[in-house]
Amino acid sequence: MIVTFLGTTLLLFWYFGAFSYGRPQLQNPTPHEPNRPNATLTVTLPGYGSFRGTQLVTSLKKTTTFSSPVDAWLDVQYSTQPVGNDRFAPVTWPPAFDGVKDASTFGPACWQNVYSPLLQSEECLSINVFRPSSVAMDQKLPILVYLHGGSFVSGSHRSFDGAIFVKKSEQPVMVITVQYRLGALGTLPSNFMEEEGLLNLGIRDQRMMLEFLQNYVEYFGGDPNKITLGGQSAGGHSVGIHLFHNYGEDAGKPLFQQAILSSGSPTARAFPGVDYALYQRQVENFMDYVNCPTSPSSAALDCLRSAEVDDIQFISSSLYNAHNYNITWPWQPVSPGPLLEKRGSTSGEDGTFFKIPILISSTTNEGKAFAPQDLRTNAEYLAFWKTLTPGLSDQDFADLQTLYPDLQSSIEAATFISPQFDRLSAAYGDYSYICPVQDTAQRLSQAGAKVYKARFNTPNWAPAYMGIPHASDASYLNGQDGTQYPEIAETYAAYWASFVVNGDPNTYSKKGSAYWDTYEVGRGKAYAELVVNRPSEGGPVLEDERTAIRMEQCAWWRDKERAKRLNK
């Protein structure tokens, strides 16, 4: 045990240069936004307690001063907190308290990257509520509940500026941003966690938050019957997981009425089970570092709950970084597991998803944010896929060479960008985001739900060779200042806000904006999607999906039997 522990530790020290960094440093809180604490903004949640809110007068980045303030209640805990003996345990309803809690400042982020500048804590499961100060509390507003992205290992309340989205919406809306457990603390895919019923804790946190809102959001002036659950990347995948859980105890009982998925889908990337060999190795390395046994399960949990959180944070982020090159990330939700008893492709096939309006999008060059840039040969291209998708067959790997041909296999590139980069990033983008987004859009459209689909094609300061990589739309959809094309931020955020208000992105869109038609398959204006171009390319316009994405390749990735081999 000691030899293995030392080996794992030395390997990580070598890989990350940890001899110079040593252990994680104490983290300083980021400064609070200018605000105006306001005793009149006290809300009382029956059976829980009272919270005194504040009024925000600037955007999150402090680049904009508002003409009128935004009412906000910050760091409102929606559950018990996973500390002490409740670490690695599901959370439940928060305990009642007396008096009035201050809700005028943001709380800490959940534990994540060891070098993040954010103040971090295990006591992090909270929501932030934003609404216009000019609207009476008895006017119950439609709500955007936003789940941040970050590969299920990073992200926080600062991933989305709720106040600026509220200010820029033509119609009154409420925004709620959410934090949930991340990294190994959010999902430790192991046999002993499965035995104890403790898998997928992060997405179970999200579910607890949705139940909390059903009970309490009306007291903040929100309408619990007009909730749009939205998110980007891992947040979008999370939305997809909840959207495709119309079975079991949840059958016919959605906790939201609409959904927005930005580069997200329940079939995005892959969600293997605890028996996945790579996950077993990653968990073994994790347990070695914190010096805990893997059995019996009671001993494993007792040890983990008494371990230093700094050690958990360090090994959690270190193992993620060590597997980032091959995109074989640890700490992902697992299936089968709670809220993922069935994989997304299975729920899609049998129709066990909620048939509600959705707005869904991907970027043009999703994969360029992740694909290695130094692979130079076809053999290296194949090795990458065999590492990432070991369940594929020999014929599948042969297909991957045909579907994504090696156009420069004999060229030794003179630059640091490899001749395999465009090929690999196209294939990875299709596998992880573009084709799963199409799959979700088609499933819901064919089931009769209203679907609005987009291809985001505007850069945000990315180098030209990167095209429009993953998350290029993040600041635009939020309506933030400082984007490369501010007019696109105004237009795209307005589409989002209009959808939140009444399920149609056109009703309250910016004057002169292109009409965003519904996405349909096999009827009417089939395959219509909005392409969000930069202004010099005409801005947002309708296009035919069949001319914009790799349809043959998407059909290949979405094949029913292949999806099983991919753990989708």
- Catalytic sites, residue numbers: 233
Number of Cβ within a 10 Å radius of residue 92: 11
d(CA 72, CA 33) in angstroms, rounded, equals: 11
Alpha-carbon distance of 385 to 51, in angstroms, equals: 51
Q: In 323-425, at which residue ranges do the beta strands (DSSP E only) sit? A: 358-363
Phi, psi for 532 (deg, rounded to 5): -95, 90
Query: CA 398 to CA 47: how far, in whole Å?
Result: 61
Q: Which two tokens stand for residue 195?
A: 């035995």
517-555 burial, b at 16+ Cβ within 10 Å, e below that, comes to: ebbbbeeeeebbbbbbbbeeeebbeebebeeebbeebbe
What phi, psi does 247 have (nearest 5°)? Answer: -155, 175
CA dist., res. 133 & res. 69, Å (int): 6
- Torsion over CA: 427, 558, 227, 53 (sign): negative
271 neighbors 347 (Cβ within 8 angstroms): no
Q: Which two tokens stand for residue 375?
A: 């692979």
305: helix, coil or strand? helix
Terminal CA-CA length for the chain? 35
Residues 273, 263: Cα–Cα separation, whole Å: 23
Q: Which helix (H) or strand (E) holds 422?
A: helix 421-429
